[in-house]
Amino acid sequence: MSACIRAADKVLAKHSMRDRGIPTPDFYAFNETAFRELGAAEALPAIEERLQFPIVVKPASQGSALGIKFARTAADVPGALVAAFSYDRKVLLERHVLGRDLAVSVLEDQGSPRPLPIVEALPQSDEDFYDFESRYEIGRTKFVCPAALSDAVADRAQELALNVYDLMGCSGFARIDLMLESETDELYVLETNPIPGLTETSLLPQAADAAGIGFDQLIDQILSTALTRA
Ligand SMILES: Nc1ncnc2c1ncn2[C@@H]1O[C@H](COP(=O)(O)OP(=O)(O)O)[C@@H](O)[C@H]1O
Ligand SMILES: [Mg+2]
């Protein structure tokens, strides 16, 4: 499934988004060999030149926040890179967007992709604010759907999600993760999940539920879309 290949590499996905004019946080990518050859002393100034701190350092191809670290200054970068390189040989360094964490799921209905109500992830304590991994532990994050957003922002987020869905060549369903920057009210796409979690408590099923599509109906709809295509 080509959408998986395109979306699984966050660096490639961000290049495609940038080419299409879809907002995604500024970034810089490194592979392990280049980093080893350059060494931290050479690499750090290059990073500082390209990105404004704080930044987020993440493996190019992981999920569930594994290996994602927050780097307040350049001094935090070597440790964050080592953590990320333990998951992938390619690492993405990205401007940290301070704001709200949103997810827009898209579900195809009779051949037309439609955005579902937006889910917001709310960390339950400030101490976890930058600890992306612990946020995924049960109870550390509360999910609200539909997120409390103005109609204008919600519409923009859903339109962006549909554009990204199309750009990534998703089929049937997907979930697009975004940040809403507090200071500017701008939306930035972080990533596309072409096969998001589909347990009853996962975000796409929560969003479908908020749209009046129960879990059984959701699974039926996903299967019938897949069968129509086959
Ligand atoms: N550039 C960023 N700015 C702010 N928060 C980020 C950034 N990148 C990731 N995060 C946080 O980490 C979470 C996981 O990042 P994401 O890129 O979606 O990777 P994963 O594949 O692990 O879900 C996001 O939902 C967000 O809370
Ligand atoms: Mg994500």
| Residues 153-185 pLDDT 10s | 999 999 999 999 999 999 999 999 999 999 999
User: Please, are residues 113 and 166 in contact by the beta-carbon 8 Å criterion?
Assistant: yes
Rounded CA gap, 60 and 87, in Å?
9
Residue nearest to atom 14 of ligand 1 (CA): 65
Minimum mean pLDDT range among 126-130, 139-143, 223-227? 126-130
Residue 142's DSSP bridge partners are 122
| Residues 95-123 pLDDT 10s | 999 999 999 999 999 889 999 999 999 98
Q: Determine the pLDDT at residue 65.
A: 82
Residue 106's CB is within 10 A of a number of other CB atoms, namely 24
203-210 vs 215-229: helix crossing angle, rounded to 10: 110
Q: Determine the pLDDT at residue 228.
A: 86
Q: Is the peptide bond before 146 cis (omega within 30 degrees of 0)?
A: yes
Rounded CA gap, 54 and 71, in Å?
6
| Per-residue tokens: 77 | 């970068």
Q: Which helix (H) or strand (E) holds 133?
A: helix 132-135
Residue of 46 and 184 predicted with greater confidence? 184
pLDDT band, residue 1 (cuts 50/70/90): low
Q: Indicate which ligand has the atom closest to the C-alpha of 99.
A: 1
Which residues does ligand 1 sit against, CB inside 6 Å?
25, 56, 58, 62-65, 68, 94-97, 101, 132, 177, 179, 190-191
Q: Determine the pLDDT at residue 66.
A: 86
Residue nearest to atom 12 of ligand 1 (CA): 132
* Ligand 1 atom having least distance to the Cα of 99: 4
